[in-house]
Structure 1
Amino acid sequence: MSDDTTTDIPVPEWGLKRDITPRLGARLVQEGHRLHCLADRASITGQFSEAEARELDQAFPLILKQLELMLVSGELNPRHQHCVTLYHNGLTCEADTLGSCGYVYLAIYPGQPVSHAPGSPDEDSPMSHIISMAR
């Protein structure tokens, strides 16, 4: 007996919601001033070019290190929503704890940041902190 019915299970989308593709979204686990990226809490929306994927692969550990330093300095605070923006070699990373006390949500995409739609949750948050990272 065959079952011809198919079930479309929606793929969870992690990280900060942004209307831009391609984008990597992730919910990082915060342990003190350390961040851990779990593969099952990350998703890619759209398709990165080979060059963009290579840049993302090289930049991701540097971005994590910078975000950890921002936790140490208090720029990122697990108890307060505050979006920070990092730039590195043509990639933009937006990150925010969303006041979650244990997670950092992020979106990484090629290019410059996009403005948030009116009424979006991030529109009312304090102005993003912008840092350009050197290679």
Structure 2
Amino acid sequence: MVSDTLPDDNHDRPWWGLPCTVTPCFGACLVQEGNRLHYLADRAGIRGRFSDADAYHPDQAFPLLMKQLELMLTSGELSPRHQHTVTLYAKGLTCEADTLGSCGYVYMAVYPTPAVPATTA
């Protein structure tokens, strides 16, 4: 995910991931087989442009997020039969995922976790 090669806006391509209003955002439709998830590159895309600092994090966080989602399928927190969005955090990224009751797919959206503004007392 090198930001120099990514256009700012990829709205001309289908969006496979969970609907997301945050940019930049990486979205994917993962294929579910039991409690296992499979990533298919042709069912993924990026909207917006990740900064050079943020572009490295998805590659590091993706295996961790996949494992956490598989554990949620095992525990039943994420169900192929019921729509329920789960939110995960890893390496400065937020991941929202949901099966949308699709019985075979998990849709995800991954984006940089917004900074919390400092408050003064």
Per the alignment, residue 22 of structure 2 pairs with 20
**Root-mean-square deviation (Å):** 1.2
* Unaligned 5+ runs, structure 1: 1-8, 113-135
SS at match of 2:103: coil
Comparing both structures, which one devotes a greater share of its residues to helix?
Answer: 2
Q: TM-score, normalised by structure 1?
A: 0.74
SS at match of 2:78: coil
Matches within 5 A, 1:1-135: 10-112=12-114
Which digits, 9 at most, give the CA deviation of each residue in 1:78-125, with x for residues without a partner? 00000000011210000000000000000000014xxxxxxxxxxxxx
Note the C-alpha offset of 1:49: 1.3
Note the C-alpha offset of 1:10: 3.0
Greater shift after overlay, 20-29 or 49-58? 49-58
Partner Cα distance (1:35, 1:50) in 2: 28
Paired AA for residue 105 in structure 2? Y
SS at match of 2:32: strand
Partner Cα distance (1:87, 1:13) in 2: 22
Q: TM-score, normalised by structure 2?
A: 0.83
Note the C-alpha offset of 1:50: 1.9
Q: Following TM superposition, where does structure 1 have runs of at least 4 consecutive aligned residues deviating by more than 2 angstroms? A: none
Paired AA for residue 69 in structure 1? L
* Unaligned 5+ runs, structure 2: 1-10, 115-121
| Structure with max Cα Rg | 1
Partner Cα distance (1:30, 1:67) in 2: 10
SS at match of 2:84: coil
